[in-house]
Amino acid sequence: VQPDGTDGNCVTFVLHDEDHTLGNSLRYMVMKNPDVEFCGYCITHPSESKINFRIQTRGALPAVEPFRKGLNDLMGVCQHVLNTFEVRLFLKSS
């Protein structure tokens, strides 16, 4: 991840080797934060495996904070889905 921008509350993060799978779900998690004014992503070109992920916050909150929180929240959701799947799989095989 490489942040691009000089203003701390409006930053574009470049995520390498990622696509819509991470971009859309991370955008959803970041937009749940009321301090985020704008969040979006784009894939620069279909032959490139990177996305530009832009966050703009309200006030003095640095954009890296909701980015980090969004990633952590998304990891928590994925862990919950995995745990639920494993429990159901175990119950079905027993």
Number of domains in the chain: 1
Burial label for 4, CB within 10 Å (0-12, 13-18, 19+), is exposed
Q: For each of the chain's 94 residues, which pLDDT tens digit applies?
A: 556 555 789 999 999 999 999 999 999 999 999 999 999 999 989 898 899 999 999 988 999 999 999 999 999 999 999 999 999 888 877 6
Check which CATH number belongs to the domain holding 79 and give it. Answer: 3.30.1360.10
The range of the structural domain enclosing residue 54 comes to: 2-93
Residue written as token pair 């991840």: 1
* pTM, two decimal places: 0.85
